[in-house]
Chain A
Amino acid sequence: MARIGVFLCWCGENIARTVDVARVAELSAQIPGVRCALDYKYMCSDPGQSLLREKIVSERLDRVVVASCSPHMHLKTFRKAAERAGINPYLVEMANIREHCSWVHPDREQATLKAAELVRMSVEKVRHNEPLRPIKVPVTRRALVIGAGVAGIQAALDIADGGYEVVLVEREPSIGGKMAGLSETFPTLDCSQCILTPRMVEVGQHPRIKLYTFSEVEAVDGFIGNFTITIRNKARYVDIAKCTGCGECWNVCPLKKNPSEFDYGMGFRRAIYVPFPQAVPARPVIDNKVCAKLVRNGCGLCEKKCPTGAISFKDEDRLIEEKVGAIVVATGYKLYSIGKEQPSDKLHGYGEYGYGKYKDVIDSLQFERLLSASGPTSGEVRRPSDGAVPKNIVFVACVGSRDNAKGLSYCSKICCMYTAKHAMLYKHKVHDGQAHVFYMDIRSGGKGYDEFVRRAIEQDGARYYRSRVSKITQENGKLMVRGADTLSGLPVTVEADLVVLAAAMRPADGVQELARKLNVGYDEFGFLMESHPKLRPVETNTGGVFICGACHSPKDIPESVAQASAAASKVQLTFASEELTREPEIAGVNERMCAACFRCMGACPYHAIERAEIHARNGDLIKRTARVNPGLCMGCGTCVAVCPSKSMDIAGFTEQEIYSMVEALA
């Protein structure tokens, strides 16, 4: 006979106000097998837990039911408490008489009777519970980092410097991400490339970093500690092992006028190109949409010129498998598309700003290239239409962001700062020019940030208008920017030579598909979801998958780097021991009863069920059976539902346990 203890919590007044706890205790004590049923004001408090432990010892209890709040709140607490008194933690059950009873049923009589029934259900379940031991699974101490912008680079270097191998996957032909294209960075105005490129070189040369550029994650299989990743290495047409990066090939390429992705269309590149001079790897790639050889079997000059025979037009995508134990997602951002065309009908563009219509209305990343010494104008501010130096320049903040009407309600966070930086750098380069900034609010929280904005206004004379821009039109070669200054109450019109729109940050393309592969949640805007906004900011709800940088929310460089290091330390924590402990509440097969129909295999979301054979000692096949891989099973129980003979069962939620609960209601 089981010796079950029932412990009823008052939760102060929360339960006791509507549930007659003493009466529930009386009723519970009458259930066969219940040795003691007592109530206490706060079961989860130290004295409450001591009471539990004392009673376990004095009444020689072997199973425990705590009737209090939701098991999501305190099941772990009470399991630990019972464990300290020598009971297997899985022989503890809870009855949720707070969230599901006292808080929702004001009638004292009804609530009390319901609470008694909930206790009885849990008593009947715990009677059949079996002791379980946590499962140990080996860990592959190797990490995958997806995305090699500043966050991915930081995470990869931290993990690799910590002594573990890293597989770094980057979609573009070079690592570096958005930061590689920036001019100077706020609030210190140090050159972006000067900070980043040494880190990029470090990645390229690190003995423990395996770099896959021009590659994407095709498939993800497995679970924390044991992921199998399929990587699609896209056809580059250049063997980067043979290539020395000498440049003979791109110097002979006749197709010169292809808009450069790295310059956001502000400059040009050839059909075979290195995205930017400091690229890592500094190896070219052939654009198969424009290359004359690949499109119409013409040209082929580069192949003839290449001294090492590194170019092959027969190159194809390759699928590569890598085994890792943890994953860091650092896929970054893209800018909100400003024009009328939008990727989804939830979003709306700003047709009235003339982006895409007027050459001299550009976005903030394009302006970064105009400011950059490595950019198409070698750092001189010259406007795209005619190359003239703009004397009046307008910056518009919050383009897309904080605008429910356009579909993005969030603040893009970094635009206030980089807009101030843009105004400042412009003034440094065009001394007789005037910068005008249209803003909604100035959000400059951060170390040295507000001082930085003040400097842009006070020292560099940027004119700030608290105003939304209603329309941008072109009149007599000037861009007329119209708005209303809400501080002075007067309409503002600025005749501008160049307009820079601070477009909102949005998650990079394809991140939702990736999130589904990784089983990571994302919000309505497509930003990946953290496990807890305060306490688990870089974890996701999938074990072993961490996030950092702008794939999570708009972020500046310091924040992205800090998060990347946090994610890297979480990865190293995962790798701290050779084995991981997992919850034992997973499926198992009664192999003697299994009829080997394998319907469970089709139903398993994790491909955790495999076909197995049982052989006699002499090797004869006795029977076939399904078998669960305890490393892969997550314990959903879909297999149990489709198993006709219920040869499959879930530990901790067995058929016997569930039916006992239902029958307790009879």
Chain B
Amino acid sequence: MSEVFEPRIVAFVCNWCTYLGADLAGTTRLEYPANVRIVRLPCSGRIDFNLLIKAFEIGADAVLVSGCHPGDCHYNTGNYHARRRWMLFRPLLEVLGFDMRRLHFAWISAAESRKFQQTVKQVVEETRQLGPYQYPAPPTDSYGAGREPHKNHFDAAAAQQRAREMLEAKEVDVVIGYGSSGPVFIRRPEDVDQITCEETGLNLAAYLGRKEVRAMGRAAILTKPMDAGALVVLERESQIESGAVKTIPIGEPGKGDFSDLDALLALPPAERMAWWAGEFARCTRCYACRQVCPMCYCERCIADKNRPVVIDTSPTPVGNFAWHVTRAFHLAGRCVGCGACNHACPVGIDLRLLNMAVHRAVAEQFDFNVGADPKAESPIGCWAPADHEEFIR
């Protein structure tokens, strides 16, 4: 007789409902499999996606997330915020091909001891059928080719002319443009010819937050069609004042679509996961994707923290997976689709696919246009009673 596989289940539960529901299961002696380990947190609102990733890293075969029913939250609305985040997090995991049958959500109240028992039983049984969770090993023949780096040409003369006018009229103190290698900071009208006719995919808004750039005074930046939305997000997040940054639009708007994403989603999940494992295996964690992103302006990135190590800092397979999940999810409701990360990636990982997955979830579920109105509330950090929850038990 072959040995039965005993899955490891990590449950993140809130202190006030599910933890007490589990307590009541004990008091009423409702037996359930011993495979579950409960981590008590104040509220389901505290349960961060990084914790779930970490649980899988340390060997969990499934994770259960549970808190108070809508309307019952000890902190009024923590569970609504949690629900909103899971609504956006799940589409990201889906595009990564993560096996969603390993991630369970449930509302379990302090009185629902039986529901707690039944949920644990079901999760253990289902996971037993699935077998152990393993991050796919990177391919041994080749990590994949990646996409070609690209460069665009545009009419520099018009941009130079506009930059000269702005500087001469003292509308701005500095114009940030594309130079022969990287950005150029033009402060005198006679220097505008340093703006070249080749852009490298950078979103120049990424430089606005830098101290030395701020010190230059009022800025104008050259913006490709998708870039200017970043200014809206930066204003929404109090990083720049309204109208403080002028733009000099360049290039023709392309047409964005989700065809690449749909093609990827057409693959079976396991194949998607394996494909990404190959892609991520190329990642050297140079963090170019982070450095060029106008939205990655944290003083210290979570990836650089080591107390605790939320994301493995070395380019290990699981560390790379955690990093790319984190990067993409931190852009939820914030990515404007400029594609700077893609252009910057020296190993050609198609990072946009991840951004697009979250972006589409934001647009479809909340009808939210990231780069439109700086006063509009970001879809993360708010909630609605009608938020769907068919994925929650």
A and B from one complex:
yes
B48 interface residue (CB < 8 Å to A): yes
Nearest opposing residue in chain B for A634, CB measure:
B75
A234 interface residue (CB < 8 Å to B): no
B118 CB to closest chain A CB (Å) equals 13
Q: A100-B26, A599-B381, A665-B10 are in contact. Are A72 and B45 (CB under 8 A)?
A: no
- Interface flags for B29-42 (1: CB within 8 Å of A; 0: not) read 11111100111111
Q: Which of A105, A603, A636 gathers most chain B CB within 10 Å?
A: A636
In the complex, the answer to whether B59 meets A666 with C-beta atoms within 8 Å is yes
- Interface flags for B205-245 (1: CB within 8 Å of A; 0: not) read 00000000000000000000000000000000111000000
Contacts of B309 in A (CB 8 A): 659
* Interface size class, chain B: 35 or more
A126 interface residue (CB < 8 Å to B): no
Q: A residues 590-629 with Cβ under 8 Å of B?
A: 592-603, 605-606, 611, 624
A644 interface residue (CB < 8 Å to B): yes
Contacts of A105 in B (CB 8 A): 31-34
Total of A-B residue pairs, C-beta within 8 Å: 182
B326 CB to closest chain A CB (Å) equals 8
Contacts of B75 in A (CB 8 A): 605-606, 634, 636, 638
Q: A107-B34, A636-B45 are in contact. Are A602 and B238 (CB under 8 A)?
A: no
Contacts of B30 in A (CB 8 A): 104
A585 interface residue (CB < 8 Å to B): yes
In the complex, the answer to whether B76 meets A519 with C-beta atoms within 8 Å is yes
Contacts of B382 in A (CB 8 A): 602-603
A538 interface residue (CB < 8 Å to B): no
B298 interface residue (CB < 8 Å to A): yes
A118 interface residue (CB < 8 Å to B): yes
In the complex, the answer to whether B46 meets A642 with C-beta atoms within 8 Å is no
Contacts of B300 in A (CB 8 A): 593, 645
Contacts of A365 in B (CB 8 A): none
Contacts of B308 in A (CB 8 A): 655-656, 659-660, 663
In the complex, the answer to whether B45 meets A641 with C-beta atoms within 8 Å is yes
In the complex, the answer to whether A641 meets B42 with C-beta atoms within 8 Å is no
Interface of chain B, main secondary structure: loop
In the complex, the answer to whether A100 meets B78 with C-beta atoms within 8 Å is no
- Interface flags for B306-348 (1: CB within 8 Å of A; 0: not) read 0111100000000000000000001000000000000000000
B85 interface residue (CB < 8 Å to A): yes
B-contacting 9-mer, from A25-33, A109-117, A317-325, A441-449: A109-117
User: Once bound together, how far apart are the Cα atoms of A482 and B22, in whole Å?
Assistant: 52
B380 interface residue (CB < 8 Å to A): yes
- Give the residue of A72, A519, A660 whose beta carbon is less than 8 angstroms from that of B20: A72
In the complex, the answer to whether A104 meets B32 with C-beta atoms within 8 Å is yes
- Give the residue of B20, B41, B117, B237 whose beta carbon is less than 8 angstroms from that of A597: B237
Contacts of B20 in A (CB 8 A): 72
A119 CB to closest chain B CB (Å) equals 12
Contacts of B31 in A (CB 8 A): 104-106
B137 interface residue (CB < 8 Å to A): no
In the complex, the answer to whether B45 meets A637 with C-beta atoms within 8 Å is yes
In the complex, the answer to whether A645 meets B302 with C-beta atoms within 8 Å is yes
Contacts of A635 in B (CB 8 A): 42
Nearest opposing residue in chain A for B37, CB measure:
A665
Beyond the given A644-B298, A662-B58, please list 16 additional residue pairs across the A-B interface where CB-CB is below 8 A.
A70-B19, A70-B23, A96-B23, A99-B22, A104-B26, A117-B37, A121-B37, A519-B76, A596-B239, A603-B382, A606-B75, A638-B43, A640-B46, A642-B380, A650-B42, A665-B59
Residues of A within 8 A of B (CB): 70-72, 96, 98-101, 103-107, 110-111, 113-114, 117-118, 121, 519, 541, 585, 592-603, 605-606, 611, 624, 634-638, 640-642, 644-647, 650, 653, 655-656, 658-663, 665-666
Residues of B within 8 A of A (CB): 8, 10, 19-20, 22-27, 29-34, 37-43, 45-48, 51, 54-55, 58-60, 73-78, 81-82, 85, 117, 237-239, 297-302, 305, 307-310, 330, 377-378, 380-382
